[in-house]
Structure 1
Amino acid sequence: MAKQSIHDIQEMRIRTLTMHSAIAPENLQFVNNHQKWTSSLIWAVLVVTFSTSFVMGVNNGGPNQYNSFIIPWARGYPFPCQKADGVAQWVATVWWGCNYTATSYFNKTGYYYLPRIPVDKQVVQSIIDSMHSICLVIGGTIGGLTGQYWYLLFTRRNAICVSMVFQVVASILMVIPLEIYNGYKKGDPDRNEINYALENKDIAVAILYISRFLSGWSSGLCCVVSTIYLMDISPRPMRGKVVTFHQLFVVIGLLMGQIVGLPWLLGQHDKWNWGMSWIGLFSFAGCFLLWTLPESPRWLVQERQRTEAAASLRILRQVNLIDAELDEIEREEATVARQNISIYEMFILDRYRWPLLTSIALNAIQQLSGINTVFFYSNETLSDIGFVDDKVYWGVLSTGIINLIMTAAAVKFVEIFGRRPLILYPLIIITIVMMLLCFSIQYHIPILSLVLILIFIAVSAVGLGPIPYIYPNEVFTIDMRPAALSISIFASWLCNTIINLLFPLLKSVLAGYTFLIFCLFCTTAFVLLWFKMPETKRKKLSEIEAYWGYIN
């Protein structure tokens, strides 16, 4: 019998499916070609993660080191000695010769120190002070939600370039604010110098916020486009491991942002704009290096470009015998009943409800566990619990180092222990740690607080760090992954936005007891995921769906 075309096979199998079924049949045999790392796969992972994931990490980790400079600057006090108490004052003393023991002598114009905020305005001011971080997470929220639409305009690979372009523009804009609005003069400025410095303040602050918004958009977008591309180019047995590299390079970038933000490097009042803009060089290079990578073979199959898909697989696997893997991709694609399903329908249809809700829950608890309050506000938190001067910086660096070590371990753990245990058991530990952290912060026990923060980071890194990016790609059919991942990432950045808006307010009211709220979130997520999250490690989609009772 003449061999049927791929198109005929697709049409025949699609007709055998029910309206809402989009799964591989039970007798479909998956290929286990025991693929290992190849130089082409390593190069593709490095280009994508360095130019998007690493950049996202720097954008998250760096600003924490610069908050003590950005806050006075944005309020209208850009001069070196205009610092609040704490590490910023230490930096001003060591690097700019500010003499805080003789302020009555130097403070002729009232611009030698940072005026205290009245009690009735502290809550509003704390939100305004966090606005550059809020702009980042709002941008991330939009980037995550719109990620699926870039795939409609571009290919899998080319959509990644959009994320890079956003960051390049953001980095160029970040250079400008401190060039047009600064107070580099040492000592007490006179009134003319003050007026001259403030001349372009509003424009500079607006550009800062726009830059942070674009950086956030780039970060949110990369969580969708980069992770799907990494999933597509990976051999099936290695998908969890390869996608985990997205989170690993986010963490490497976070640590690098902390290091560059040290006062011995760019962590000073006249250099922080460069500390937040240099990362655009990686995105700029990525815009060119991206074209050396093969296109997603799965996307090419979807576009019925079999010859191109085969060529892409040969480059990635560095072997000519790729027919078995290509046939597997084609068989999976042939069973996908493509439908125009709205977000509302994804929630109400049994076929998609629990995959979507558990994906959203994972991405939401990633933020509602409180992890980014550590990385966005660790400088301030460590100062509040008793760390002084340069000890604050070493405490901040310790959070980045433990995060990197445990995320590197997660690359192995996700395939050894599976997804479900690495989510559920850490949530129990996080809940206990948060309760103890409330006690240690309230009673100002610095070393205990730091140890608890490090434990919190360690257990979060092995599960809540990488798995929310992996899981949606494993519980949805190929055609639904971009939309499902976009919705999940949107939930993550939305919760991140809420936390950034409310944390300063809650902290001013509840102090250390704020962390009890995170305990409540973790407990709620644990109960939901205990009953509704299946194990997905090396399982067929039909086996995963059987957990929810979608298949008899």
Structure 2
Amino acid sequence: MSGLQHNGDHLTGIVNHPEEKQGPNTSNINPEISASKRMLSPEDISLLFFKREVNYSCYLICSVFFCVFGNSFLYGYNIGDVNNPAKIIQMFYHDVLDERAGIQEMDDNSTVVTYGGNSTANMTIPIKRSEMNYLNYEAPDNVEWLWSITVAIFVLFGMIGAFASGAWADYFGRKRGMILITFIMFVAAIFGGIPKVTRSFEVLIVHRALVGLHCGLNVSLASLYLAEISPKKIRGAIGTCHQLFITVGILWSNIMGVSKLFGTKELWEWVFIFNAFPALVCLIGLPFCPESPRYLLIKKNEEEEARDALRKLRGYFDVEDEIDEMKVEARRSQSVESFTLKQLLTTVDLRWPVIIACVLQISQQWSGINAVMSFSSFMYKNAGVELTVVEWVVCLTSLINVVTTLIAVPLMEKAGRRPLLLYPMVCMVVSFIALTIFHNLQYEESLQGSRGIFAVVAIIAMHTYVVGFALGLGPIPFIVVGEIFRQEPRAAAMSLSLTFNWVCNFILNLIFRFMQKAMLGYVYLPFIVILIGAIVFIFFKVPETKNRTFDEIAATITRGRKAKAPFDDLGEEMQKMNS
């Protein structure tokens, strides 16, 4: 007979196998750890994983904070930092182009619209650009193209960073990889602070390219690190912290860019200089945090270092249950070399996990979220919102995004991944349908008296869309991609899926402003079609991953939904290791 005894915050094994021989693979296990002195049955392993209480150690909390503040936060910040000050920076671009062409400041035509009774009077008043209220500025096509490139190059270099992130994570490690990329952000902050001094918009484009490279690397590194240091019971909640800090970064960038703070002709460069601060915090704090134990044991074969890191993260001494589970994974991966892209795409067992990972990332971007976050000021203006309140509505959108993501953290472990993907995505579809209807009603001359009502409905619809995204399609793709692969292909798979994420983001950011001008109120229809297709795919193909080991999830996808019961494979492997 063997049993388990609950002892404080963890479980210890009671050994009643005096006749059993010690297996050859257990000689290097700490003899003080009772759980490793006997052969573990599948039932015992199940108890170890599911009944162990979660201990929120200081190392775990600090590791999560420094990871998400120095990486996830910066990703979100650089999605939103070009939003509120967009027109001011476009005016700077226009000025620089005129200076280079030797053109004196020209009189731009500003259209002032006044309302009197039931009639509308349009007056075109010549006014110098330097004296113009930036809210009334309309950029010419050449400036629009330059601005679209400025926004989209962030995504292009993010794609490059994402593609290299798998090799970077495996070569330098998760923690050291995040530390090294902080220096990219310091250089980026310098370029972001000198456009007016150099009278060059090109340096701002270089800034956007560098922060894109950093964010492409940091999204993958942060997702891997969080997935691999998290206790299984709260893996979803900790993974959601990644998306939470992305939303906090978007909110903070929108606040920094309002006209009452740094969104002015004199101070807008400080919006970009700020990038250095979170990077500095990460550089100072992260070296004191443990490396990913799974990386240390499975990738580097450093068992003692992995055990020490795990003890710091868990806050208790007996971590042999997790060490044993990692050993099983390491044993399975011993015959497999580091995964290349070709291996990832040609391994039959990984075909569906790769498809699921890529479809989730494509759906996340082509649901339209970054068009909303990067161009929401233009979208609200087109939807009839008053120009003077647009920047505050943009901040409200970001605030709702943060609050909803906070709600999603506890929901992640209660409701599961699949429900939080499917139901909020239906809400997103309904929101875009409502936005399409009421946006088009803005153009009906007979309904001009109701424009204010239509604008309010458009704001509500946009915010319900953001709520739906923040609950599901925002955080869950990053979590699921980290969960559906075993250790050996995980970094390569994360890299590939995030490359799809960035490619889709780049395409959308480059063309969205021109989609708006061409499609007007029907600009949301492509997103509706993509969301409906994603809902169907997720319903039929994406498994639930809550409270399951990495091996079990991978086995479920490979074999179909009727996979072996939890821990069957793990128990079999442990018996082999201890026999």
Could you state the TM-score of these two structures normalised by the residue count of structure 2?
A: 0.80
1:126-205 pair list within 5 angstroms: 126-181=144-199, 204-205=200-201
1:316 correspondence with 2:334: no
Could you tell me which of 463, 470, 478 is aligned with 1:454? 463
Offset, 1:395: 0.8
Could you tell me which of 16, 35, 44 is aligned with 2:63? 44
Contact 1:231–1:243 under 8 Å retained in 2: yes
1:539 correspondence with 2:558: no
Quick one: distance in 1 between partners of 2:547 and 2:157? 34
1:207 correspondence with 2:203: yes
Q: Cα–Cα, structure 1 residues 524 and 26, in superposed 2: closer, same or farther, change >3 Å?
A: farther
Q: Cα–Cα, structure 1 residues 3 and 126, in superposed 2: closer, same or farther, change >3 Å?
A: same
Contact 1:164–1:287 under 8 Å retained in 2: yes
**Residue in structure 1 matched with residue 577 of structure 2 by the alignment:** none
**Residue in structure 1 matched with residue 486 of structure 2 by the alignment:** 477
**Residue in structure 2 matched with residue 441 of structure 1 by the alignment:** 439
Contact 1:64–1:378 under 8 Å retained in 2: yes
Quick one: distance in 2 between partners of 1:299 and 1:547? 23
Q: Cα–Cα, structure 1 residues 26 and 522, in superposed 2: closer, same or farther, change >3 Å?
A: farther
Contact 1:178–1:270 under 8 Å retained in 2: no
**Residue in structure 2 matched with residue 467 of structure 1 by the alignment:** 476
**Residue in structure 1 matched with residue 501 of structure 2 by the alignment:** 492
Quick one: distance in 2 between partners of 1:310 and 1:138? 39
The Cα offsets for residues 129-170 of structure 1, whole Å up to 9 and x where unpaired, read as: 211111111111111111111124312210112332221111
**Residue in structure 2 matched with residue 401 of structure 1 by the alignment:** 399
Of stretches 274-283 and 322-331 in structure 1, the one that deviates more from structure 2 is 322-331
Contact 1:103–1:112 under 8 Å retained in 2: no
Output the aligned Cα RMSD. Answer: 2.8
Could you tell me which of 422, 425, 430 is aligned with 2:423? 425
Quick one: distance in 2 between partners of 1:139 and 1:270? 28
Offset, 1:229: 0.9
Q: Cα–Cα, structure 1 residues 54 and 35, in superposed 2: closer, same or farther, change >3 Å?
A: same
1:374-385 pair list within 5 angstroms: 374-385=372-383
Quick one: distance in 1 between partners of 2:235 and 2:404? 19
Q: Cα–Cα, structure 1 residues 55 and 449, in superposed 2: closer, same or farther, change >3 Å?
A: same
| Larger of the two Rg values belongs to structure | 2
Quick one: distance in 1 between partners of 2:173 and 2:139? 51
**Residue in structure 2 matched with residue 509 of structure 1 by the alignment:** 518
Q: Cα–Cα, structure 1 residues 131 and 426, in superposed 2: closer, same or farther, change >3 Å?
A: same
1:56 correspondence with 2:75: yes
Contact 1:472–1:485 under 8 Å retained in 2: yes
Q: Cα–Cα, structure 1 residues 26 and 349, in superposed 2: closer, same or farther, change >3 Å?
A: farther
Offset, 1:525: 1.4
Contact 1:532–1:548 under 8 Å retained in 2: no
Q: Cα–Cα, structure 1 residues 454 and 116, in superposed 2: closer, same or farther, change >3 Å?
A: closer
1:370 correspondence with 2:368: yes
Unaligned runs of 5+ in 1: 10-24, 90-100, 182-203
What is the identity, as a one-letter code, of the residue corresponding to 1:229? Answer: Y
Q: What's the % identity of the aligned pairs? A: 27
1:29 correspondence with 2:45: yes
Quick one: distance in 2 between partners of 1:272 and 1:304? 49
Unaligned runs of 5+ in 2: 1-20, 30-40, 99-104, 114-122, 443-453, 565-579
**Residue in structure 1 matched with residue 290 of structure 2 by the alignment:** 294
Contact 1:72–1:78 under 8 Å retained in 2: no
Secondary structure of the corresponding residue to residue 533 of structure 2: helix
Secondary structure of the corresponding residue to residue 162 of structure 2: helix
**Residue in structure 2 matched with residue 75 of structure 1 by the alignment:** 94
The Cα offsets for residues 198-240 of structure 1, whole Å up to 9 and x where unpaired, read as: xxxxxx2221111101111111111100111111111121111
Could you state the TM-score of these two structures normalised by the residue count of structure 1?
A: 0.84
Q: Cα–Cα, structure 1 residues 83 and 526, in superposed 2: closer, same or farther, change >3 Å?
A: farther
What is the identity, as a one-letter code, of the residue corresponding to 2:45? Answer: Q
The Cα offsets for residues 392-444 of structure 1, whole Å up to 9 and x where unpaired, read as: 12211110111011100111111111111111222222122212111111222
Contact 1:164–1:286 under 8 Å retained in 2: yes
Q: Cα–Cα, structure 1 residues 334 and 216, in superposed 2: closer, same or farther, change >3 Å?
A: same
What is the identity, as a one-letter code, of the residue corresponding to 2:481? Answer: P
What is the identity, as a one-letter code, of the residue corresponding to 2:173? Answer: T
What is the identity, as a one-letter code, of the residue corresponding to 1:38? Answer: S
Secondary structure of the corresponding residue to residue 304 of structure 1: coil
Secondary structure of the corresponding residue to residue 526 of structure 1: helix
